[in-house]
Structure 1
Amino acid sequence: MVRYVLLIIATGVLAGCSLLAPDPPSDQGNICEIFREQPEWYDYARASEERWGTPIATQMAFVYRESSFRSHVRPPRPWLLGIIPWFRSSSAYGYAQAQDPVWGEYEEDAGGLFARRTHMKHATDFIGWYNRRSHERQGIALSNPEHLYLAYHQGPTGYERGSYRSKPGIQRIARQVEQRAWRYDAQLKQCESEFRCRHFWQFWPFCSE
C-alpha cells in the first residue's frame, strides 16, 4: 500500500514537472526565433560554450536532432501482445537524450547531483561536456559537428572502432546535424546582439558584444 501511494506521488510530481516545461519552439528552423521564444536558452548555451568550447549553434543542432526541443521525451515503449507495457529500447531521456550510464558519469564529473535531463541548462552543459571529452579522447575538433555527433551517437568505443562507417543512416543523420549547425550559426550571427548583454546587470567591461 505504501509503495502504491509513493508511486502515485512520484507520478504526480513528474507530471507536474512536465506541465511546467516550456513548449517546443514554434519555428525550430531558425535559431533566432528559438531564442526569441526562450531567451534563457541562449544564456545556457553560451555558458556551456564558455565552459566546454562547443559552439552554441552546434549544441542547438544536437538538441533539435535528439528531442526536437521536447523536455521529457523518451524512446517509445513497446507493448507485449498489444496489452502489456514492455521495456523501452534505451534509457535515453530529456532534451539531449542522455542515457543513464553516461548521465551518471556527467553528474559525478561536472553536473552535480541536482542536474536534470529535462532542463535545458543541464542538457546544453551535458552536450558541451560530452563533446569536450570526444575532443580530448578522440581528437575531434569542436568545430566539426558531423564527427562530434557520430561520437555522441556511437559512444567513444563505437566511434574509435569506426562502427558508423557501416551505418549509412547514422552517417546521413550526422551530416544533417552538421548542416543544421552551420545554418544555425549563420542565423545566430545576424541576431546574437539581441541576446548578449540584455540583462540590467550585464555591462562593460564584464559583458561585451
Structure 2
Amino acid sequence: MRCSFLILILGSLLMTGCSSQPSNINNVCTIFDENSDWYDAAKDVQKKWGVPLHVTMAFIHQESKFVSDAKPPRSTFLWIFPGPRPSSAYGYAQVLDETWDHYLSKTRNYGADRDDFEDAVDFIGWYNYTSHKRLGISKWNAKQLYLAYHEGHGGYERKTYLKKKWLLKVSNKVQRKASQYLKQYKSCKADLERGWFF
C-alpha cells in the first residue's frame, strides 16, 4: 500500500516535470538551463535538418509558449457554453492531425507524439527543411519559414499570407523572437556546453 502510494506520487511528479512550462519563456538560456534535454533535442534538429536552434525555439514560443498539451481555445455558444475547437492543432508545435500523419509517414517516426518536446522540434526541423527545399526559403529566415508553416507550402506559393495582415505581424514577431534567442544563446552557449549555467 505504502509502496503503491510512493509510486503514484513519483509518477505524478515525473509527469508534471515533463510538461511544465519554463519559468522564463523569453530567455532561451533559462529555458535550456532548466531543460537540458531540450537543449540536446534542439541541437540534434540543427544537426539533422540544418535549421538553426534559435529559429526552432522561436516557433515553439509562438505556437504553444512551451506548453506540451496546448490546443486552440474553444469557441463559445451563447457566450457561455464551450463549443468546438477551430482546428485539431495540438502540442508544442500546434500541428494539425493530417499534417502530423504526413510527417510520420515521411519520416517513419511512428512512435512520435506532439506533446513530446523532442518529437515536436524534430517536426519543426523537418517542416522548415521541406520549406527550404521546396520554396527556397533560407533556413535562417524565421519570418518566411513561419508564413509557410502557417499557410502550408501550397498557400505560401499562392501568397495567401498577403491577405492576412495579422499573420504578417505574427511572422515579424517570430523573426524578432528568433533574433532575441540567437543573441541570448551566443551569451550562454559556452556555459550550456559545459553542462551548467550560472
TM-score range, shorter chain: 0.7 to 0.9
Give the equivalent residue in structure 1 for 2:141.
144
Equivalent residues in 2 for 1:16-165 (5 A)? 19=16, 21-81=18-78, 85-110=82-107, 112-165=109-162
1:123 deviation in Å? 0.6
* AA of the residue aligned to 1:115: A
1:181 aligned onto 2:187: no
Does the Cα contact within 8 Å between 1:67 and 1:96 map onto a contact in 2?
A: yes
Query: Tell me, what secondary structure is at the counterpart of 2:193?
Result: coil
Superposition TM-score, scaled by structure 2 size: 0.86
How far is the alpha carbon of 1:40 from its aligned partner? 1.0
Q: CA deviation at 1:194?
A: 2.3
Does structure 2 retain, via aligned residues, the 8 Å contact 1:25–1:69? yes
Matched residues in 2 for 1:17 and 1:84: separation? 34
Give the structure 2 partner of residue 192 of structure 1. Answer: 189
Equivalent-residue separation in structure 1 for 2:44 and 2:51 (angstroms): 10
Instruction: State the identity as a percent.
Output: 40
* Residues 144 and 74 of structure 1, relative CA distance in 2, 3 Å threshold: same
Alpha-carbon distance between aligned partners in 2 of 1:17 and 1:38, rounded to the nearest angstrom: 13
* Mapped contact 1:151–1:158 kept (Cα < 8 A): yes
**One-letter identity of the residue aligned with 1:121:** E
Unaligned runs of 5+ in 2: 1-11
- What is the alpha-carbon root mean square deviation over aligned residues? 2.1
Point out where structure 1 has 5 or more consecutive residues left out of the alignment.
1-14, 200-209
Residues 138-170 of structure 1: per-residue CA shift (max 9 Å, x gap) = 110101110000000111111001111111110
- In the alignment of these two chains, the number of paired residues is 185
Distance 1:83 1:186 in 2: 44
2:37 maps to amino acid: E
| C-alpha distance in 2 between matches for 1:29 and 1:20 | 19
Secondary structure at the aligned position of 2:134 is classed as helix
